[in-house]
């Protein structure tokens, strides 16, 4: 699994300062894809060493690590999420922005604090669209709690 880029972001996960890691080799082919370069298998390896480097550099400034994509290797995303939690004694939360319509059965939602599902569909729009097909969940006690409305109301409350 590789990442093409990363950034510190504030909108993707409400109330968190998030290191968003953009994973390449996306298996989806959404019409109107916002990042077509992520459909190619290129970039730097995303593994425990890379995450250790990220945490050493940005760990004091962030509250969350978000895996953007990675649907070609869901079990690997889950493994790295568990690694981030372990390395930071759960201080840093984890999130997964998946393009899959449903959370993969091979993974556990409890391995993440936040999960977004759903491919990008132009006619429905993204999370901030009232017609969106995408869903944003907080994971509470191992259950998915739908908080998609946070993106549409521009509320500041989450979990």
DSSP states of 90-118: T-SEEEEE--SSS--TTS-GGG-SEEEE-
CA nearest to 77, candidates 148, 135, 21: 21
Options 1, 13, 19, 38; binder of ligand SF4; rule CB under 6 A:
38
Laid out side by side, the sheet with 143-146 consists of 44-45, 2-9, 18-23, 64-68, 93-97, 114-117, 135-140, 143-146
Give the x-and-dash track for 75-114 against ligand SF4 (CB under 6 A): ------------------------x---------------
Closest CB to ligand SF4 among 55 and 67? Answer: 67
Tokens 């300062």 -> residue: 17
Q: Number of residues in contact with ligand SF4, rule: CB under 6 A? A: 13
Q: Give the Cα separation of 62 and 21 in Å (integer).
A: 13
Candidates 150, 155, 116, 108; CA nearest to 133 is 116
| Site membership for ligand SF4, residue 30 (CB under 6 A) | yes
Say if residues 71 and 98 touch (Cβ distance below 8 Å): yes
User: Shortest approach of ligand SF4 to residue 115 CB, angstroms?
Assistant: 14
| Min CB(99)–ligand SF4 separation in Å | 3
**Quick one: 37 or 153, whose CB is closer to ligand SF4?**
37
User: Using CB under 6 A, which of 5, 9, 17, 35 touches ligand SF4?
Assistant: 35
119 binds ligand SF4 (CB under 6 A): yes
Q: Is 40 or 143 the residue whose CB approaches ligand SF4 more closely? A: 40
In degrees and rounded to multiples of 5, residue 49 shows phi and psi of -60, -45
Binding site residues, ligand SF4, CB under 6 A: 26, 28-30, 33-35, 38-39, 69, 99, 119-120
């Amino acid at each position: 699994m590789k990442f093409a880029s990363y950034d510190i972001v504030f909108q993707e996960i409400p109330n968190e300062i998030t290191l968003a890691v953009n994973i390449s080799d996306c298996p989806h082919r959404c019409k109107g894809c916002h990042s077509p370069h992520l459909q190619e298998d290129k970039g730097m390896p995303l593994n425990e060493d890379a995450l250790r480097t990220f945490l050493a550099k940005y760990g004091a400034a962030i509250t969350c690590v978000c895996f953007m994509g990675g649907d070609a290797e869901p079990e690997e995303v889950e493994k790295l999420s568990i690694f981030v939690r372990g390395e930071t004694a759960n201080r840093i939360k984890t999130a997964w922005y998946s393009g899959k319509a449903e959370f993969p059965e091979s993974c556990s939602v409890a391995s993440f604090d936040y999960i977004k599902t759903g491919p990008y569909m132009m006619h429905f729009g993204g999370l901030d669209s009232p017609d969106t097909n995408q869903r944003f969940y907080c994971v509470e006690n191992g259950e998915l709690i739908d908080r998609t409305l946070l993106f549409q109301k521009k509320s500041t409350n989450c979990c």
